[in-house]
Amino acid sequence: MKLVAGNWKMHDRGADLASAIRAQLGAPGVEVLLCPAFPYLREVGEAVAGSGIALGAQDLHWEPRGAFTGAVSARMLLDVGCTHVIVGHSERRLLFGDTDAAVAAKVKAAMAVGLIPILCVGETLEERDAGFAQRRIRSQVAAAYQPGCVVAYEPVWAIGTGRAASPEHAREAARTVRDAAGADVRVLYGGSVNAANCAPFFEAADGALVGGASLDAAAFAAIVAAAEVAG
């Protein structure tokens, strides 16, 4: 079954958007996951309770507790109803300095409490232009993947740029992820997915990680509908 995940990033949307999405979706025929910012997790969880829509966080810390000001543990995410957590998003890697080692530690911490990590991998424009895209994907998977993770392939140059990868590029990347992680890993594509361009990505991958378009209930519902068509 396809998985469509909405990454709301640092946008102040909570139960309002979750309720609008719930109303648009009815009973979704694919897995749907909403990932609001930490302060809105509980209210989003309440807004989607009983709908089949799952709740995920955007990051976590690898330690279970302690003097880590500003950080949130895996157990805390479970306590507010999360089943998933995004790990190693390129914005975390590039803006907050998350290394492959930190990403690996976060994956481990999430899995230790039963959260499903959505491990994000993807090359920068420089890496792509230098012909290193597949090598970068392999190295990020090798550094942090554990069986049970979902892997989101998100080329950095496609995130928030309106310039999605071609479906062929996404398909090749998904193949690279499967070569590195094992044939049964679920691979999502992310990077400027919208209602108009999403259908081929559901052929190339097992679902999508959607940023900007997930903030619009109608657009997100159209993406989910395309995933349902793909099966």
Q: Which residues are marked as active site?
A: 89, 154
Alpha carbon 79 to its chain's center: 20
Question: Per rule CB under 6 A, is residue 197 in the interface with ligand PGA?
Answer: no
Candidates 210, 217, 225, 227: give the one binding ligand PGA (CB under 6 A): 210
Whichever of 110 and 156 has its CB closer to ligand PGA, that residue is: 156
Whichever of 113 and 161 has its CB closer to ligand PGA, that residue is: 161
Stretch that binds ligand PGA, among 24-32, 99-107, 206-214, 222-230 (CB under 6 A): 206-214
Candidates 209, 219, 223, 227: give the one binding ligand PGA (CB under 6 A): 209
Q: How far is CA 180 from CA 134, 141, 147, 176, in A?
A: 10, 7, 11, 6
Site for ligand PGA in 1-40 (CB under 6 A): 7
Candidates 56, 122, 155, 212: give the one binding ligand PGA (CB under 6 A): 212
Whichever of 113 and 149 has its CB closer to ligand PGA, that residue is: 149
Stretch that binds ligand PGA, among 20-28, 68-76, 96-104, 184-192 (CB under 6 A): 184-192
Give the CB-side neighbour count of residue 74, counting CA atoms within 13 A.
21
Catalogue the E-assigned strands of the chain: 3-7, 31-35, 54-57, 84-87, 116-121, 150-153, 186-190, 207-210
Give the strand pairing for 116-121 and 54-57: unpaired
Quote the CA–CA distance of 33 and 159 in Å, as a whole number: 19
Give the H or E element holding residue 172: helix 167-181
Question: Can you give the binding site for ligand PGA, defined by CB under 6 A?
Answer: 7, 154, 159-160, 190-193, 209-213
